[in-house]
Amino acid sequence: MKFRHSSSSFLAVFTAVLYCLSLPGARSADAQRLSQNVRPDHYTLTLTPDLKVAAFSGEETIDVTLAEAANSITLNSAEIAFQEVTVSAGGKQQTATVTSDKEKEQITFAFAEQLPAGKATLSIAYTGILNNELRGFYLSKTARRNYAVTQFESTDARRAFPSFDEPAFKATYDITLVIDAGDTAISNGPIVSDTPGPGAAKHTLKFLTTPKMSTYLVAFLVGDFQCTEGEADGVKIRGCATPDKVALTPYSVEVAKYVLHYYNTYFGIPYPLKKLDLIALPDFEAGAMENFGAITYRETAMLVDLKTASVGAKKNVALVVAHEMAHQWFGDLVTMQWWDNIWLNEGFATWMENKPVEAMHPEWNIDQMVAGDSNVTLNLDAQPTTRAIRARAETRDEIEEMFDGISYGKAGAVLLSVENFLGPETFREGVHNYLAAHLYSNATAEDFWGAQTATSHKPVDKIMESLVAQPGEPLLTFGEPAGGKVAVAQKRFFLSPSIEPDAKQKWTIPVCIKTGAPGDGHSSTGWKTGSDRQECEVLTPEASTLRAPAASLFFANAGGKGYYRSAYPASVYAALVANAESDLSPTERISLTGDEWAQLRANKATVGDYMNLVTALKDDPSAEVMASAFGGVNSIYEHVAGSAEERAALAAWMVATFGPVYARLPPPAESDSPNTRELRAHLFDVLGRAKDTAVVSQARQIAEQYLADQGSVDGTLGHTALGIAARNGDAAFFDQLQKIAETSNNPELQEGALRLLAAFEDPALVRRSLDYASSSKVRNQDALTQFAIPMQTDATRELAWTYVKDHWDTVKTLLTPELGSELVGSTGGFCSAAERDDVEAFFAGHKVPSAEHSLKHAVESINGCIELRRLQEPHLRQWIAAQGKM
């Protein structure tokens, strides 16, 4: 699965709040696992959905094997009504007595006569509902018609068919769909027969028997989807959407063709199915879902208008397509034994998605985006409520809570550090060996690092266990390198200086010290070429020195690929800042800004120190470095500055510092690289945030021109201009954007316009946007984000929060687990004790399901902000005073 919230967005880099984040804690819950006595071998499933009345009927047989004789069989089921259940075993047929346990979402079929050990076949006739909850078998709607679609991960296959709904119960499936005559359907396998009937108004589609797979990867989608087609390595690839949007599918097919061939080569195991479909769905909660052979997407994660798309929109689609396709091997073909190891799926796909996209588009500087993402992850993992990558997940809520920044971001960063240490080809062999040993089966974390250890003959097991089983991250404090050695001390790092880490907690991690010149580091031609010039050594808990290779500059995280924070003696750090532009690669400069921001948060550096680094990087040619450096400035503006005067002084500095850099850029040209387009857009955004009057009025002009003719303005600058124009916009501009949000067929523009409605700062328009989000005109999948956006900015936060409290009866009808968590998390932007107490008191009286940990995080973020302001605001004042004297 892929989250909706791209962590690489410009301003997310350093903000304290992380949405969608919730962490499991100790909680008593009954084990809800099924018995191992009965295992499914094969499902035969015929479903007849009625899209008008939002219901379906099902006929199912499940061939099972009993290890021991039994009088009953228990499996999973939710919101299903049973008509008749029989079993045939040992040559006899019996009817079952059915009892359900709603709490556990389990159903027990009891039989008068004991079933012998061995084979048995259950036959089940039942009915279910096509719900509106974006999970199970659900209804997705457009203005024209209804669609019946599925989303089963993690535990919702049981809403569509009674099943052994756990990842290790793999089985094969024969799926048949009985649908309206004019409609089509898509499932995991290709269609093998299409016959008229039953009745004149229906036809019956049978799909090819699937390979052995987990329940959560089954999919069936019914409607009038249309597709464009392609092919790679003999596999038919289709990009499908509702008919009005099929013209926006070819880009995803192009990406999928490239990625399929890339993965076939990388994994050394051919894509295991005969076809691959990518389907964009009008209503979809997550970003995308890796159903085996039938990947589903939120429209913005798959559809692109190539004539007008921004670089960001294309990057996002390419990365999501590559992420879900990585799961076809890593997750679908070989699946984690249980949900506690979901990081194996998600961390792997998060790491893997970058490789084919980097090879396909070297000009996108994907490695720099990854370095920026690592900073976000390290900040998240430096908070006290973080968790170990592998954690307990038994109940539905605990399982859902595993899909967080730790399972994705941290696990991905850990894999990157291990790959960098072993070398890409050795790591690839380890991946191949792991997959080859568990095809169509399940595996654990130990299986993965065992394969890497056996392949590389290096202590990957110790390294990975150290990073996977312990929460948090190490801070490595280095001494002055001398005589080929450098002293190093490690301890757990917290952003907050008031937390004293447990001195006993230590890691076994690879540390790679830079040896080469800049420009050596970037590999863009696949996994076989070298990485940054470096010398790596495994730092053990006992070690207090490392080898220090001869180099003109000492930088202890080559390529920014290690999973740790670094701190240097003053003279070493000063040399790094002075030579950052000449001697560090862009990813290393991104890593350095992250380290310095961490030092500031931990009160080991001041606002002035950080601003000196930003000043040293102000002419940086890389858009990602600029975004990374500016992320901290934005946090200082939003969180450290406590008065209008301080903000005004910071804004004046931003205009004085970045205005000339922007002015020096040549005017936009057709031939501009993606980096140039993004750099220009970032600088324009910085000046817009500083309310530079010329930029604000220019933004409105560019925005109007972009809306009138999207081909006439660079899409990246156009979207940035829209953001500035909306923040400073009036009612007429609001009307204009609302119309686009309601009528545009271009998902980037449509969803973009909707999000922009939430960015207006004029109080009357903030209220109008929230009224609109509460109305039936905004899809459930989008509504709560419209509340979360104004909670991110100081200018609108209080107004939005008051609105949420005053209109809670309406807001609570929009809550789903993921989105409710997002809303609760968004309160983490406050920065005072009174506001924190208000947030806590409100949610104590108005519980949001599955958002308990989001609330803890929000409170922690507010406390972090209070502390940051208390410690750093005096330094900010000093720095401002010093600017005046310059």
- Residue among 793, 802, 722 nearest 761 (CA): 793
Gap between the Cα atoms of 282 and 146, Å rounded: 10
- Please compute, for residue 284, the number of CA atoms within 13 A of its CA located in the half-sphere on the CB side: 27
281 token code pair: 């769905």
Minimum CB separation from Zn ion for residue 346, in Å? 5
Q: Which two tokens stand for residue 801?
A: 């929060």
Report in angstroms how near the CB of residue 46 gets to Zn ion at its nearest: 30
Taking the least distance from each CB to Zn ion, the nearer of 288 and 509 is 288
CB of 19 to Zn ion, least distance (A): 17
Kindly report the backbone phi and psi dihedral angles of residue 815, in degrees, each rounded to the nearest multiple of 5, phi listed first. -70, 130
Structure tokens at 462: 């110790």
Q: Measured from the CB of residue 286, what is the shortest distance to Zn ion in angstroms?
A: 9
- On the question of a cis peptide bond just before residue 35, with omega within 30 degrees of 0, the verdict is no
| 289 vs 831 by CB, closer to Zn ion | 289
Find the residue with minimal CB distance to Zn ion: 349
Q: What are phi and psi of 113, to 5 degrees?
A: -105, 140
Give the residue with the Cβ less far from Zn ion, 287 or 820.
287
Of 179, 202, 175, nearest in space to 191 by CA = 175
For the segment 782-811, give every residue that binds Zn ion (CB under 5 A): none
Phi-psi region of 526 (alpha: psi -120 to 50; beta: other; left: phi over 0): left
Q: Which stretch binds Zn ion (CB under 5 A): 113-121, 186-194, 338-346, 624-632?
A: 338-346
d(CA 72, CA 109): 5
C-beta separation of 192 from 207 below 8 A: yes
**Shortest spacing between CB 403 and Zn ion, in angstroms:** 8
Q: CA-CA distance, 132 to 54, in Å (whole number)?
A: 9
For residue 327, the minimal CB distance to Zn ion (Å) is 6
Asked if 831 touches Zn ion (CB under 5 A), the answer is no
Residue closer to Zn ion, measured from CB, 301 or 804: 301
Using the rule CB under 5 A, give the single segment among 52-60, 209-217, 344-352, 702-710 that binds Zn ion. 344-352
Closer of 74 and 291 to Zn ion (Cβ): 291
Q: How far is the CB of 339 from Zn ion (least distance, A)?
A: 13
Largest CA distance in the chain: 95
Which two three-digit tokens encode residue 719? 């979207």
Contact 55, 168 (CB under 8 A): no
Our measurement of the distance from residue 534's CA atom to the centroid of its chain's CA atoms, rounded to an integer in Å, reads: 30
Task: Give how many residues touch Zn ion by CB under 5 A.
Answer: 4
Nearest to 318 by CA among 283, 386, 272, 369: 369
In the bound complex, what is the minimum distance in angstroms from residue 353's beta carbon to Zn ion? 9
Smallest gap, in angstroms, from Cβ of residue 229 to Zn ion? 25
Of 96 and 349, which has the nearer Cβ to Zn ion?
A: 349
Q: Which residue, 286 or 778, is less far from Zn ion as judged by CB?
A: 286
Neighbouring residues of 483: CB distance < 8 A, sequence distance ≥ 6: none
Q: Are 420 and 512 in contact (CB under 8 A)?
A: yes
* Closer residue to Zn ion, CB minimum distance, 295 or 313: 295
∠ CA 317-319-321, nearest 5°, is: 65
Closest CB 333 distance from Zn ion, rounded Å: 14
What ranges in 330-405 are assigned the alpha helix state H?
342-352, 354-360, 366-381, 396-401
- 20 near Zn ion, rule: CB under 5 A: no
Q: Which of residues 162-221 bind Zn ion (CB under 5 A)?
A: none
Q: Smaller CB distance to Zn ion: residue 64 or 218?
A: 218
Question: For residues 255 and 309, what is the distance between their CA atoms, to the nearest angstrom?
Answer: 15
**Segment contacting Zn ion (CB under 5 A): 342-350, 601-609, 662-670, 684-692?**
342-350
C-alpha to C-alpha distance for 505 and 742, rounded to whole angstroms: 54
Verify binding: residue 286, Zn ion, rule CB under 5 A: no
Q: Is 349 in the site for Zn ion (CB under 5 A)?
A: yes
Q: 128-156: b or e for each residue (b if 16 or more CB lie within 10 Å)? A: bbbeebbbbbbbbeeeeebbbbbbbbbbb
Separation of first and last alpha carbons in the chain: 52
Contacts of 845 (CB under 8 A, 6+ apart): none
A 10 A CB-CB count for 711 gives: 8
Query: Looking at beta carbons only, is 411 or 737 nearer to Zn ion?
Result: 411
Note whether 307 and 718 are within 8 A (CB): no
Looking at 206-214, 348-356, 472-480, 681-689, which segment touches Zn ion (CB under 5 A)?
Answer: 348-356
Residues 6+ apart with CB under 8 A from 504: none
Question: Taking a C-beta distance cutoff of 8 angstroms, is the pair 664, 646 a contact?
Answer: no
Q: Is 231 a catalytic residue?
A: no
Which one of 222-230, 347-355, 393-401, 490-498 is the stretch in contact with Zn ion (CB under 5 A)?
347-355
Structure tokens belonging to residue 123: 């036959």
Quick one: DSSP state of residue 35? Answer: P
Site string for Zn ion, 291-330 (x = CB under 5 A): ----------------------------------------
Is 1 a binding residue for Zn ion by CB under 5 A? The answer is yes
In single-letter form, the type of residue at position 845 comes to G
Minimum CB separation of residue 687 from Zn ion in Å reads 37
- DSSP state for residue 407 in the 8-state scheme: I
Residue (105 or 346) nearer to Zn ion, CB: 346
Pick the stretch among 99-107, 349-357, 554-562, 638-646 that binds Zn ion (CB under 5 A): 349-357
CA pair distance 238, 249, nearest whole angstrom: 9
Considering the candidates 254, 324, 748, 818, report the single residue annotated as catalytic.
324
Conformational region of residue 684, where left means phi above 0, alpha means psi within -120 to 50, and beta covers everything else? alpha
Phi then psi for residue 84, to 5 deg, are: -150, 135
Name the residue nearer to Zn ion (CB basis): 277 or 532. 277
Least distance (Å) from Zn ion to the CB of residue 506? 31
Provide the minimum distance between the beta carbon of 322 and Zn ion in the complex, in angstroms, as a whole number.
Answer: 11
SS3 content of the chain, % helix, strand, coil (to 5): 45, 20, 35
User: Is there a contact between 502 and 456 (Cβ–Cβ < 8 Å)?
Assistant: no
Cβ-based nearer residue to Zn ion, 1 or 62: 1
Binding site for Zn ion (CB under 5 A): 1-2, 346, 349
Catalytic residues: 324
